[in-house]
Amino acid sequence: MKKLWTVLLAVLLAAGLCQPALAADGEPTVAIEADGEQGARKCTYTFPDGGALYFKQDSHSVTAPDGTVDHWEPESFWTLYDSENLKGRVVIPEAIDGQPVEKMYYHQQKHDWLDPAPCLEDNPELTSITFPAALKEIIYMQGRPTFKGCGKLTEVLFEGEGPEKLTGWFFEGAPALRRVKLPKAVADLDLAFVGCPGLDSLELDPQNPHFVMDEQNILYSADKARVITAAMGARERETVTLPETVAKLESHAFAGNEKLKSVYGGAPNIKGDTGCFRNCPALLPFRDMHGHWAEDAAAWGYQKSVIYGASLFTFDPDTPVDRGMAAAMLHRLVGLPDIYNEGFPDVNNQYHYYGGGVMWCKEKGIVQGCSDGLYHPELPVTREQLAAILYRYCLYMGRHGSKGDLSAFPDAGSVSPYAQEAMEWAVGSGLMKGKNGGLLDPQGQASRAEAILLFRRMEDIPGIPQE
């Protein structure tokens, strides 16, 4: 009977009445054609749903004994260079026509060749991409998101040892990304996680000699001297304790940790840039501000990017604010608008961090130069000078506030005539409430803590910004 069924099945197959089962989505079609006259080839790999991957196989010349070109031969591998209309789960093939897919490059079909774009961008229906084990290299331009326009992409998986390098912004452009499986032998992830959203899963081969993950799901360099990323679990993490070996946080290391409140540990003077804690609205990283009377104001200023720390984890609240910093803080507060004037001879917009701020404030009549025609950005700002600057800013912005009475302050008589109106405004509008026993201290230098507190209180003054 078994033999009879075998014979019957063979007959049905031969007659075309019974086909072997195919995957639900069918099988891709592969179309290979010559690309020029020197042995190069290109391939269109089309999925049943209409999505396509485009590969090329470059050629190289073979030199004759006399030094001339004898003939051309195709390379022994394929390069992925373009895609379109990818949908659902996509697995890049290991090989085409028996030869491996070893490289991924930029496409040059949809964009000018001088501005090539990553070959997987603009696939809005793509949900999963798997790179082949044969892949050895991704030829990539720094700063271009690989998955721009891939709004539904949830997982990126590497099945092989390589590539060894995933370059900057690699995971950016896919806001729904939740799972990443890294190449087994990946050795370079510098800036790769810039723009990466919070992940539910980040898979690192346990035998990888270059990186290590701890129980907090934080990815470090193998020696735990650098934090690479805390993208995994970013949406729920509230506190972090770093090993004492950590001396640097890579850019955007904790970006998107929305509930992160405190970061403890690490080596003294940990290095990092302002992007380390991007989009961390609950965090105040400055350890010298915990319990300080200006703690809330410093947190507000930090989250608004109005003021930065003296270092990654220190604020230095008692350090005086200088004239350059005061202007820079106002410029940041209004979103760094463009400037259209030359500023002052001693302020350069290209070389000084406060340059744009000083020029914008001068343009709006908020700051003025000194008697010698210079701005002197390095000079400390006194409390009455800061009040005058903020008063002019609020007048420009249409926030008039209220006039107060200075007579209750023992040192009211020491207020300079030019600052009288501004100090009355600062008191009446709730910016200044007295210090050290109810003193105005108008000639005293304004500290960073005092400055950010005044800025924070100023934001509560109602008004309609003028056009």
Kindly report, residue by residue over 371-429, the tens digit of the pLDDT: 999 999 999 999 999 999 999 999 999 998 999 999 999 999 999 999 999 999 999 99
Under 8 Å CB-to-CB from 433, ≥6 apart: which residues? 427
In this prediction, residue 143 has a pLDDT band, given cuts at 50, 70 and 90, of low
- 191, burial (CB in 10 Å: exposed 0-12, middle 13-18, buried 19+): buried
- The verdict on 191 and 55 lying in the same domain is yes
- The verdict on 57 and 181 lying in the same domain is yes
In a domain, 10, yes or no: no
- The verdict on 197 and 346 lying in the same domain is no
Strand partners, 60: 73
Determine what percent of the chain is predicted with pLDDT higher than 90.
75
Task: Please determine, for residue 12, whether its predicted confidence score (pLDDT) is greater than 50.
Answer: no
- The verdict on 67 and 190 lying in the same domain is yes
- The verdict on 46 and 171 lying in the same domain is yes
Q: Which two three-digit tokens encode residue 76? A: 């022994």
pLDDT at 105: 85
CA nearest to 85, candidates 130, 121, 111: 121
pLDDT in tens, 349-364: 777 899 999 999 999 9
In a domain, 454, yes or no: yes
- What total number of domains does the chain contain? 2
262 φ, ψ (degrees, to nearest 5): -145, 145
> Mean pLDDT, to the nearest integer, of 17-35?
65
Task: Please determine, for residue 19, whether its predicted confidence score (pLDDT) is greater than 70.
Answer: no
Task: Please determine, for residue 155, whether its predicted confidence score (pLDDT) is greater than 70.
Answer: yes
SS3 301: helix
- The verdict on 30 and 161 lying in the same domain is yes
pLDDT at 464: 44
pLDDT at 66: 76
| C-alpha dihedral, 5 to 11 to 12 to 15, nearest 10° | 180
Question: Distance between CA atoms of 234 and 457, rounded to whole angstroms?
Answer: 32
In a domain, 78, yes or no: yes
Question: Distance between CA atoms of 35 and 133, rounded to whole angstroms?
Answer: 26
Helices 323-333 and 448-458, axial angle in degrees (round to 10): 30
Task: Please determine, for residue 23, whether its predicted confidence score (pLDDT) is greater than 50.
Answer: no
In a domain, 408, yes or no: yes
Question: Distance between CA atoms of 298 and 277, rounded to whole angstroms?
Answer: 15
Determine what percent of the chain is predicted with pLDDT higher than 70.
90
| C-alpha dihedral, 262 to 267 to 273 to 276, nearest 10° | -40
Last residue of a domain, one of 209, 233, 267: 209
Mean of all residue pLDDT scores within the chain: 89
pLDDT at 6: 41
In a domain, 367, yes or no: yes
Angle 286-448-270 from CA coordinates, rounded to 5°: 30
- The verdict on 45 and 190 lying in the same domain is yes
Last residue of a domain, one of 189, 209, 229: 209
> Mean pLDDT, to the nearest integer, of 170-198?
93
DSSP 443: T
- The verdict on 30 and 167 lying in the same domain is yes
Strand (E) or helix (H) holding 452: helix 448-458
Task: Please determine, for residue 215, whether its predicted confidence score (pLDDT) is greater than 50.
Answer: yes
In a domain, 47, yes or no: yes
Task: Please determine, for residue 33, whether its predicted confidence score (pLDDT) is greater than 60.
Answer: yes
Q: Is the peptide bond before 132 cis (omega within 30 degrees of 0)?
A: no
pLDDT at 37: 72
Calculate the CA 74 to chain-centre distance. 40
- The verdict on 202 and 336 lying in the same domain is no
Question: Distance between CA atoms of 201 and 212, rounded to whole angstroms?
Answer: 15
pLDDT at 16: 34
Last residue of a domain, one of 166, 188, 209: 209
> Mean pLDDT, to the nearest integer, of 259-276?
92
pLDDT at 46: 97
pLDDT at 141: 64
pLDDT in tens, 75-121: 999 999 999 999 999 999 999 999 999 999 865 545 455 566 789 99
Handedness of CA 201, 206, 207, 212 (dihedral sign): positive
Q: Can you give the residue range of the structural domain that contains 185?
A: 26-209
CB 401 within 8 A of CB 461: yes
In a domain, 380, yes or no: yes
Task: Please determine, for residue 465, whether its predicted confidence score (pLDDT) is greater than 60.
Answer: no
Q: Higher-confidence residue: 167 or 413? A: 413
In a domain, 117, yes or no: yes
CB 132 within 8 A of CB 155: no
Strand (E) or helix (H) holding 110: none
Lowest mean pLDDT, pick from 43-47, 163-167, 426-430, 459-463: 459-463
CB 198 within 8 A of CB 235: yes
pLDDT at 112: 53
Helices 448-458 and 383-397, axial angle in degrees (round to 10): 20
- The verdict on 185 and 48 lying in the same domain is yes
Task: Please determine, for residue 209, whether its predicted confidence score (pLDDT) is greater than 70.
Answer: yes
Task: Please determine, for residue 21, whether its predicted confidence score (pLDDT) is greater than 60.
Answer: no
Biggest CA–CA distance in the chain, Å, is: 115
Task: Please determine, for residue 234, whether its predicted confidence score (pLDDT) is greater than 50.
Answer: yes
Question: Distance between CA atoms of 448 and 453, rounded to whole angstroms?
Answer: 9
- The verdict on 204 and 339 lying in the same domain is no
- The verdict on 191 and 50 lying in the same domain is yes
Q: Higher-confidence residue: 354 or 5? A: 354
